Every structure is written in structure tokens, then in C-alpha cells.
Amino acid sequence: MKKWQFWLGIIISAVFLYFALGGLKLGDFWNAIKSANYWWIFPGVAVYFVAVWVRAWRWHYLLKPIKKVPTRVMFPVTCIGYMGNNIYPARAGEVLRAVVLKRKENVPISASLATIIVERIFDGVVMLAFVFVNLPALAKVAAFDSGFLGNIQELAIIGTGIFLGALVVFLLAAMFPKTSEKIILWCINHFMPKKFREKSSDIMLKFLEGLASLRSPVNILMVFFTSVLIWLLETVKYWFVMHAFTFSVSFFALMLLNGIANLATTIPSAPGYIGTWEAVTKAVLMAFNVPGAQALGYAVVLHVALWLPITLLGAYYMTREGVKWNDSMRAETNENQEAA
């Protein structure tokens, strides 16, 4: 909590919460929360857990060239990672699951992190695809007078360039491992202090091993289509939760919301993406003529439905596996987070 990044995230979340609450009567918001039919949450949570299982399978698939770890083993570790992202700052859950997998299956942390970064790049590409599939609807959102969102269409184009650029770099590194190794070692030997060269070289070479699954076009297509399935399943959850409220928008509008809201979670914020999620979700829904109180009520309920069940399940698995968030675990996670 002493790190400046943590306090910066708190400030950013507070600013976004200010925008989320702007122009609303709290009584209207509370009525939207009270009148919701919460039975719709249960099928939404069930579909979400299916999506998490598919995520675990995708991770198992990416790790196969390094070590074959069954999906049933990857699922608890994936849930632990979600829990970490939800309660620790700076998406520490991504590194936490690599550390847990190292302790359980002796998979090198650098190799795990490589597969996790590949996951996130494919996720970003798919989320941006959801945005661009709905370009006509996006034009409405881009013109919406929410102020702080700015021109979402322009931001989406910039984001597409970043994610596709990163994907190309990773694909080239995977397809030409020897050349990549030479380039990395040259950079380390010329720009890294001597005392860090050996350790850095070892980390980077193991990181390259983690990209092995991207050497096959079939594997790339498999990971891409799996990523599409994951995000479609999550959108189905959005659809179920929407039925708890009185408004209705199209499934394509929810795809657009899914893409924009999850891209917004990359903005530094308090743990659990508090504020950024609510403000962006409310703004997108209001662009589709959903009343502000209903839009914010939906944003809060959906956020809780996304956050609470997986966090509790992750905490359960962490306890069951005997993994403790002690000083050694914290130090190992922080060390690898800084390296990543």
C-alpha cells in the first residue's frame, strides 16, 4: 500500500466514480438496485464459470509444448489468478498464478508468464474485434457527451495498433526462436549491467520457450477461436444480468459494451477495477438510451456478479491447495511482477 501505483489507482478510481455518479439521483439508483430480479444472476454466473473453464483449457493448450498439465489442474490455478487480479493491485493475479503453477507443477515462471501475456494479447485482439464488429453502434458511443470517454473510436484504433503490433512481435519471436535468442542476448550483453546478465538471459530464454505453441498456424487459430468463445460466453452473462433490469439492448450492443468495458480495465485503478468499470459501463449503456440510474445499477450488479463468485472460488482453491499469501509468496510475486 506504500507504492505510489496503488495510490494513483485509488485516485483514478475516485475520479471515475465521480463521473459515474454525476447527474444521478441516488434514490433512482437505489430503486433500480432494489427492483432487480436477481434470479437472472445465477444462470449468468454458471455461464461465466464455463468461460473460466475454457480459459483454463486455453492455458493448458498454450503450455503443452513446455509441460502437459491437465485442465482440471489449470482450472483452480486460473481461479486463483482471477482472485489475485480482483483483490491485489496492478493485476498481480497474473503473476500469482504463474507462481502457484511453479509450486504445483514446476513450470518455469518466465515460460508461464509468456503464455499469460499471449493470452492477454489474444484477449485484447478479440475485444477490439467486438468493438469493430459494431462500428455503427460505436459511432453513437463516440459521439456521446460523457466527456471523459473522449473519442472511443479513435482510442479503439490506437488500441488495435498496439495489440496487433504486440501479436506480430510475439509471432515473429515464436517462428524464429534462434534469431530472437541472438537478438535478446545481444541486447542483454550490450545494455544490461554485468551482474544481471546471467539471470536476465535465463529468464528471457525460458520466456521464449513459453511462446513455442505459437509456432504452428493451427495452434494460433485454436487459441484465437477459443478466445472468441470465451468472450462470447462472457457476453452471454451480460445478457442474463440485463434481464434482471427493465431495459433491453441487443446482444451486439452487449458485445460492444464487453469490449469497451474490459479494455477500460487496463486503466490503472483500485483493485477490482472499481470506478473505471462503473463509469464506462454506464456511459456505453446511456448511449443506447438506457436511463442513467438503470445503467449504473446494471453496472454495479454485473460488476459484483463478475467479481464475487470467482473471487470466493479462487480463495477456496488457494486454501484447499495449501497456498498461503505469506511473506515468501508475496516477495516471489512482487519480484516476478517487476520483472514482467
Which position has the higher pLDDT, 187 or 40?
Answer: 40
Q: Where does the chain have alpha helices with state H?
A: 4-21, 26-34, 41-63, 71-87, 92-105, 109-133, 135-142, 152-175, 177-191, 194-209, 217-242, 251-264, 276-287, 292-320, 327-339
- Is the separation of the CB atoms in 153 and 134 below 8 Å? no
Instruction: State residue 145's pLDDT score.
Output: 47
Q: Model-level pTM?
A: 0.86
What tens digit of pLDDT does each residue of 53-95 get? 999 999 999 999 999 999 999 999 999 999 998 988 777 888 8
208 assigned to some structural domain: yes
Number of structural domains found in the chain: 1
Host domain of residue 253: 4-19+37-339
334 assigned to some structural domain: yes
27 assigned to some structural domain: no
277 assigned to some structural domain: yes
Q: Rounded to whole angstroms, how far apart are CA atoms 280 and 285?
A: 9
- Is the separation of the CB atoms in 40 and 244 below 8 Å? yes
Among 325, 310, 303, 337, smallest CA distance to 17 is for 303
Contacts of 159 (CB under 8 A, 6+ apart): 124, 128, 263
Instruction: State residue 327's pLDDT score.
Output: 47
Instruction: State residue 293's pLDDT score.
Output: 93
82 assigned to some structural domain: yes
25 assigned to some structural domain: no
Q: Rounded to whole angstroms, how far apart are CA atoms 149 and 282?
A: 11
pLDDT of residue 299 exceeding 80: yes
26 assigned to some structural domain: no
Of 91-105, 191-205, 291-305, least confident by mean pLDDT is 191-205
What tens digit of pLDDT does each residue of 182-227 get? 998 888 888 888 888 888 888 788 888 888 888 888 889 999 999 9
What tens digit of pLDDT does each residue of 128-169 get? 888 878 767 666 655 544 444 445 666 667 777 788 888 888
Q: Rounded to whole angstroms, how far apart are CA atoms 105 and 247?
A: 47
pLDDT of residue 5 exceeding 90: no
200 assigned to some structural domain: yes
